[in-house]
Amino acid sequence: MSNQLNVVELFAGVGGFRLGLETADKSFFKTVWANQWEPSKKAQHAFDCYASHFKEGINSNSNTDISEVEDSFFQQLNINFLVGGFPCQDYSVARSLSGEQGIHGKKGVLFWEIKRILENSNPNYVLLENVDRLIKSPAKQRGRDFAVMLATFRDLGYIVEWRVINASEYGNAQRRRRVFIFAYKKNLGYAQQQMSLTKEELLFKDGFFARIFPVKDKAFKGRNIPDELPTDIVKISEEYSFNFHTAGIMIDGFFQTMQPEAKEPQPVPLNKILLPEVEIEEEYYLTEAEVEKFSYLRGSKKIERTSADGHKYIYAEGGMSPVDDINLPGRTMLTSEGSVNRSTHIVEVNGRKRYLTPIECERLNGFEDNWTEGMPKRMRYFCMGNALVVNLIRDMGNRIKEIELEEQNKSTQSKVPM
């Protein structure tokens, strides 16, 4: 074995996963193929940004529809580790017409592309990221989509841990909550080691996430429950509903889920990532008209609206602070950050209100300054609203490196003649 992992990055965006892993150890995590493709867009800004930063193995940077890549390509790629931030979609499935040909998921759902790649490459490790509402969707059948995903990993021979992480609780300047899913093959020595522990031990202390992001030794309000997934994944899709909590582990379809609390939150305030005033161009300061507009947008309101069928109703919205407190971490940045929008960050420094600059938005996610330079300003904001917090991936990468080196060491020892 060589001391490296061959990585494939899907739905790569501007490269947050790769940057985080390479920050952990560039020589250990070797990205052998990356795919970023924005459908129905002529300009591929995110891909161009990715390719400009990661020129090593440039022929392995793919800007094509993932569904058009043949199974045989993944079969010969020798993938050890699959990563990606995939879209939250409808993961319902149905039996094929003959019943014997397995199941069919809806076309265009990108999680099924992840499943296809896993089936054709069998990597030992998988690390995925998504919005935290994934574990509760859809609204009419809570938890169905996440249960379908868990069952898919179960059927492919993986153990799964998940955790919703608020980045600000672990040394970052943004209160960004995202669910991370770590799956690993049951035949690994690491898996055997984990299965020797109770699920409580894994969730509170010794599991993948608990080792990296420590939590208190009791679940919030006692939210800690076990359950078992139905064997039939179609039955899950049609009937199953469950209130998954923000952390959990699944082994052979049996899972434990709980809601942890960060042990010693270590937030970074906004003022730590703000640029000096002398570097802020005048275009980022609010005009009087914009101040008035944001005062309305961020204020409480009740508005009478009319639905498509003519029904009148009152839309109510609570008030929020006129500006973001720079002594606290920033709120979750959305793709609408660069627009005049209620969710847009507004800071006040020395009596003047302004937007965050693209560089400050990059810093909120842990990217290097001017990482997205070269694309239109509106797209710089959009890409950062879509990105993950790089430092979280760095920390997970360090742990995955430890796990894999232990795995390689055990394999070497087992081959030494007695």
Question: Which secondary structure element, helix H or strand E, spans residue 189, and what is its range?
Answer: helix 189-195
Residue 360: what pLDDT? 98
Residues with Cβ within 8 Å of residue 353, at least 6 apart in sequence = 285, 286, 291, 294, 323, 346, 347
Average pLDDT over residues 279-292: 96
Span 228-236, average pLDDT = 95
Mean pLDDT of 162-167: 98
Max CA-CA distance within the chain? 82
The residue assigned the tokens 């899950």 is 236
| 278 and 257 within one domain | no
Kindly tell me if the per-residue pLDDT of 328 is higher than 60.
yes
3-state secondary structure of 308: coil
Contact assessment for residue 137 and residue 233, using Cβ atoms and an 8 Å cutoff: no
The answer, yes or no, to whether residue 135 has pLDDT greater than 60, is yes
Choose, from 49, 88, 361, 383, the residue flagged as catalytic. 88
Q: Are residues 133 and 223 in the same domain?
A: yes
Q: Identify whether 226 is preceded by a cis peptide bond (ω within 30 of 0).
A: no
More confident residue, 316 or 261: 261
Strands (E), 205-260: 224-228, 247-251, 254-258
pLDDT of 235 > 80? The answer is yes
155 falls within a domain: yes
| 88 is annotated as an active-site residue | yes
Model confidence over 14-70: pLDDT tens digits?
999 999 999 999 999 999 999 999 987 889 999 999 999 998 766 789 999 999 999
Instruction: State what percent of residues in the chain have pLDDT above 90.
Output: 83
Domains: count for the chain: 2
Whether residues 359 and 248 share a domain: the answer is no
Name the band, by pLDDT with cuts 50, 70 and 90, for residue 188: very high
**Contact (Cβ atoms closer than 8 angstroms) between residue 32 and residue 8:** yes
Position 355 pLDDT exceeds 90: yes
Confidence of residue 97 (pLDDT cuts 50, 70, 90): low
In a domain, 307, yes or no: yes
3-state percent helix, strand, coil for the chain, nearest multiple of 5: 35, 25, 40
Nearest to 128 by CA among 86, 65, 169: 86
Whether residues 200 and 342 share a domain: the answer is: no
Q: Is pLDDT larger for residue 103 or for residue 278?
A: 278
Range of the domain at 191: 5-263+389-413
- 414: confidence class by pLDDT, cuts 50, 70, 90: low
Residues 99, 143, single domain; the answer is: yes
Residue identified by tokens 């970052």 is 172
Per-residue pLDDT for 102 more than 80?
Answer: no
Could you tell me if 408 and 353 lie in one domain? no
Residue 290 scores a pLDDT above 70? yes
Asked if 374 and 400 sit in the same domain, the reply is: no
Residue 185 pLDDT class (50, 70, 90 cuts): very high
Query: What does the pLDDT average to over 382-391?
Result: 97
Residue with tokens 């430092």: 391
Asked if 43 and 165 sit in the same domain, the reply is yes
- Residue 58: the pLDDT is 63
- What residue spans of 14-99 are helical by DSSP H? 16-25, 45-53, 71-75
What is the spatial distance between Cα 58 and Cα 84, in angstroms, rounded to a whole number? 19
Phi then psi for residue 67, to 5 deg, are: -70, -15
Does the pLDDT at position 100 exceed 50? Answer: no
> Do 216 and 73 have their domain in common?
yes
Distance separating alpha carbons of residues 198 and 156, to the nearest angstrom: 22
How many Cβ atoms sit within 10 Å of the Cβ of residue 243? Answer: 12
Confidence (pLDDT) at 1: 47
- Predicted confidence at residue 56, as pLDDT, reads 79
Q: Residue 190: its pLDDT value, please? A: 97
pLDDT at 98 over 60: no
Asked whether residue 70 falls in the same domain as residue 29, the answer is yes
Looking at the DSSP bridge assignments, the partners of residue 6 are: 30
Q: Are residues 132 and 169 in the same domain?
A: yes
Confirm whether 38 is domain-assigned: yes
- Asked whether residue 81 is domain-assigned, the answer is yes
Return d(Cα 76, Cα 54) in angstroms, integer: 22
Tell me the pLDDT band of 120, cut-offs 50, 70 and 90: very high
Radius of gyration of the chain (CA): 23
Whole-prediction pTM: 0.94
In a domain, 418, yes or no: no
Residue 81, pLDDT > 70, answer yes
Task: Retrieve residue 159's tokens.
Answer: 């153990």
Amino acid at 235: K
CB 245 within 8 A of CB 131: no
Mean pLDDT score, 154-183: 98
Indicate if 294 and 371 belong to the same structural domain. Answer: yes
255 token code pair:
């899972």
Q: Give one word for 370, left, alpha or beta, with left for phi > 0 and alpha for psi -120 to 50.
A: left
* 3-state SS assignment for residue 204: helix
Mean pLDDT of 187-211: 97
Looking at residue 173, which CATH number applies to its domain? 3.40.50.150
Task: Copy the structure tokens of residue 307.
Answer: 């639905």
Query: Residue 258 is encoded by which pair of tokens?
Result: 């709980």
Q: Between the CA atoms of 371, 375, 381 and 385, what dihedral angle is there, to the nearest 10 degrees?
A: -70
Q: Which alpha helices (DSSP H) does 309-389 contain, by range? A: 358-364, 377-386
- The predicted model gives 98-116 an average pLDDT of 74
Domain membership of residue 308 (yes or no) is yes
CATH number, domain containing residue 367: 3.90.120.10
Long-range contacts, stretch 63-67, CB < 8 angstroms, 24+ apart: 63/35, 63/36, 63/37, 64/35, 64/37, 65/37, 65/39, 66/10, 66/35, 66/37, 66/110, 66/113, 67/108, 67/113
pLDDT in tens, 255-277: 999 999 999 999 999 999 999 99
The overall average pLDDT reported for the chain is 93
Return the bridge partners of 257, or none.
225, 248
